[in-house]
A and B are shown apart, each in its own frame.
Chain A
Amino acid sequence: MKKTMVMALVILLCGFAGQVLAQDKQIKAGFVYVGPVGDAGWTYAHDLGRLEMEKLPFVEPSTYIESVPEGAESARVINGLVRRGHNLILTTSFGYMDATIDVAKRNKDVIFMHCSGYKTAENVGTYFGRMYEPRYLSGIIAGKMTTKNIIGYVAAFPIPEVIRGINAFTLGVRSVNPEAQVRVVWTQTWFDPGVERDAADSLLDVGADVLAMHQDAPATLQAAEARGAYVIGYNSDMRHFAPNAFLTAPVWNWGALYTQLAEAVHNGTWKSEQIWWGVKDGLVGLADIHAKVPDDVKALVQERTAAIVAGTLHPFTGPLKDRDGNQVLGAGETMSDGEMLSMNFFVEGVQGTLSK
């Protein structure tokens, strides 16, 4: 009798210890990047986040694979990371969505996080940031700094993420300068410094005196610097590419999210969800505004940043009309996350093409 009691106790304790061990999981993370780490933009920003995550004591040295083509090709790379013992895999571009879901289906014990998509599974979560908030804030600065009222925007692909950014930026511009127009040129590439430079030059040729961009390379900044225009960067603080032209940049701080994510997986509290963090959570923000921007503009940006953090200001608040004059939001309405995530129209003040 006593023996069985002891045995039971031992089994119980073992089980308990096992559970504790299972919760204190060592993390071996694998990152799939769409561009080279040295792109100074999107992938570079993710890699800074990766390095910050690696500083945690329970995170083993992580692995990254760069310039992985989107589509079916990526499944092989993701699978390769699984096969080499990674237990947390982050796929950092939209085009990896199907591949991530597919590999995850066969590897239930590995946790996957896919950036910017919409498909989830039991062991797949998604994450992204409300970049439209800092885009809106940077638009305020662009609207105040332009004298010709023509602002150029070099944009990669007409997908909701990019369109949302253009619209938020334009709303920021027009909130302080209703005369200004934002002209969009599509490059159809995330990373191609030559093409991006040509697009930026074409915008300068039509008279833009402030440029903004949604690309992974800093070519737009270099174009603005060479022609004496102002420029707003993206992804990371790119000021050293354009010391005179640089005004500010909406930037990613992936470290804020990646450390919390590692924490959650380590503690066993991770669950599949769709993370969409904003300025309030520290995932997105503005790079330090350059000294040449007047103080009253800086103060205005600061004030609106505080309002966004407090939840009293939402860039997509009605009355809001699309470019053709159709009402999108009535007075006082704010746009739902679902509508924002599938945005496919331009607001008033944007000049560019968009297929219906």
Chain B
Amino acid sequence: MKLVIERRDTSSALLHFSAPMVSIVVALLFAGGLILAAGINPLDAYREILYEAVGSTYGLSETLVKATPLIFAGLGVSLAFRMQIWNIGAEGQIYMGAMGATWVALFSGLENHWLLMITMFCAAFICGGLWAGVAGVLRARWRVNEVIVTLMMNYIAILFVNYLIYGPWRDPQGFNFPLTAQFSEAARFANFFDTRLHSGFFLALFCALLLYLLMERTVWGYQIKVIGSNPQAARYAGMRTGVAIFAVLFLSGAIAGVAGLSEVAGLQYRLQHGISSGYGYTAIIIAWLARRSALGVIIVSLLMGILLVGGDSLQMLWQLPIAFVYAFQGLILFFLLGSDFFIQYRVKLIKGAQGG
């Protein structure tokens, strides 16, 4: 008897839909065991998690707030994935976008709200885009691996922002703490329903729509897919792959950069530590789970928001340690990612087969 793992030639739509569902159920069962071991009824816990995240206007608004940067960054990363380009640098691009927006908000001298909004958007877009574009140029011209470049540039971006908030951009009235001054009212996003929900969320949905149209309804979107699946054929067909690589990485980074704008103009109102708590890395998981579709990114980001916001209730109600919350969230992700394997491969038991 032998266990064989082989690639599926085709995977049915049913499988695509059911595998993640089954994996969520299995994950909830496993996590339930963990919760039970802590002496808590898993059903109570799940009800509380859901209630915390979507059970009230407040909870729902917080889930959307949490999902906002994830949608932006997830869209950016998944765009590059379409072309088989691995943008691991969304975290750094978020920081650069936040930096660009902050520069406009604090030092451009603009006072008109809409002028500020548009300029801040452009600054975040360009800063995030150029940051990722560096990896694009290196990849297109010298075939330098973009995984390494984008990843390493995260550290540069974060340290550069650190330099700014500890040095030249430090708030003169801030007792030498590493913060910039706060943005004026004109440089802030609008809030809705007396919650922290801000325009950034709707901007993210709009971005998703534009990206969908770009990828599915334009020639350029088609070219991206062709270059991604078969670069030789694309070159043979006369497509300019080098330009496309740069353009895709630029756009990917630019959208991640807008996540930075959304965080500083919608929530923090200044540049400081922890602009992104790992959203750029979570975005990689999101892009993977969403299978590169824009709608998928929105759905997975919302689920992630529920998981993160709902996780608070485990600590608040039962004083479970944070490690428990991490373990719970990790389990769910583990099984979700695991389901991907079963969609692409099948496991067969072959009787009596001898090696070779």
Residues of A in contact with B (beta carbons under 8 Å apart): 36-38, 63-67, 69-73, 75-77, 79-81, 83-84, 94-95, 98, 118, 157-160, 188, 341-344, 355-356
Contact A66 B322, CB 8 Å, known A95-B273, A159-B178, A188-B162: yes
Instruction: Give the contacting residue for A95; candidates B62, B272, B315; CB below 8 A.
Output: B272
**From DSSP, what is the main secondary structure of chain B's interface residues?**
helix
| A285–B62 alpha-carbon span in the complex (Å) | 41
| A81–B267 alpha-carbon span in the complex (Å) | 19
| A355–B166 alpha-carbon span in the complex (Å) | 7
Q: Which A residue's beta carbon lies closest to that of B326?
A: A67
Q: Which B residue's beta carbon lies closest to that of A77?
A: B312
Contact indicator A95/B268 (Cβ below 8 Å): no
| A94–B269 alpha-carbon span in the complex (Å) | 16
Contact indicator B177/A94 (Cβ below 8 Å): yes
Residues of B in contact with A (beta carbons under 8 Å apart): 52, 58, 62, 65-66, 162-163, 166-167, 175-178, 196, 263, 267-270, 272-275, 277, 309, 312-313, 315-317, 319, 321-323
Q: Which residues of A contact B58 (CB under 8 A)?
A: 79, 83
Q: Which residues of B contact A118 (CB under 8 A)?
A: 175, 177
CB proximity of B327 to chain A, nearest CB, Å: 13
Contact indicator B178/A36 (Cβ below 8 Å): no
| A230–B166 alpha-carbon span in the complex (Å) | 32
* Sampled A-B contacts (5; CB under 8 Å): A71-B275, A77-B312, A83-B58, A95-B274, A158-B178
| A71–B269 alpha-carbon span in the complex (Å) | 10
Contact indicator A355/B322 (Cβ below 8 Å): no
Contact indicator B277/A160 (Cβ below 8 Å): no
Other than the given A95-B274, A159-B176, 5 more pairs (CB < 8 A) read A38-B321, A64-B319, A76-B66, A76-B309, A77-B312
Contact indicator A80/B312 (Cβ below 8 Å): yes
Instruction: Give the contacting residue for B274; candidates A37, A66, A69, A83; CB below 8 A.
Output: A69
| A37–B315 alpha-carbon span in the complex (Å) | 12
Contact A73 B277, CB 8 Å, known A66-B322, A160-B175, A160-B176: yes
| A80–B309 alpha-carbon span in the complex (Å) | 10
Contact A355 B268, CB 8 Å, known A70-B273, A159-B176, A159-B178: no
| A244–B272 alpha-carbon span in the complex (Å) | 40
| A157–B315 alpha-carbon span in the complex (Å) | 28
CB proximity of B203 to chain A, nearest CB, Å: 17
Contact indicator A37/B163 (Cβ below 8 Å): no
| A341–B175 alpha-carbon span in the complex (Å) | 7
Instruction: Give the contacting residue for B312; candidates A38, A65, A71; CB below 8 A.
Output: A65
Contact A81 B316, CB 8 Å, known A36-B321, A72-B268, A95-B273: yes
| A80–B319 alpha-carbon span in the complex (Å) | 13
Q: Which residues of A contact B312 (CB under 8 A)?
A: 65, 76-77, 80
Q: Which A residue's beta carbon lies closest to that of B63?
A: A76
Q: Which residues of A contact B323 (CB under 8 A)?
A: 36
Contact indicator A70/B319 (Cβ below 8 Å): no
Q: Which A residue's beta carbon lies closest to that of B194?
A: A106
Contact indicator B176/A344 (Cβ below 8 Å): yes
Which 10 A-B pairs give the minimum distances between C-beta atoms? A71-B274, A72-B267, A342-B175, A355-B167, A67-B322, A344-B176, A342-B176, A69-B277, A355-B166, A66-B322
CB proximity of A16 to chain B, nearest CB, Å: 37
Q: Which residues of B contact A95 (CB under 8 A)?
A: 272-274
| A77–B313 alpha-carbon span in the complex (Å) | 9
| A76–B308 alpha-carbon span in the complex (Å) | 11
Contact indicator A71/B166 (Cβ below 8 Å): no
Contact indicator B322/A73 (Cβ below 8 Å): no
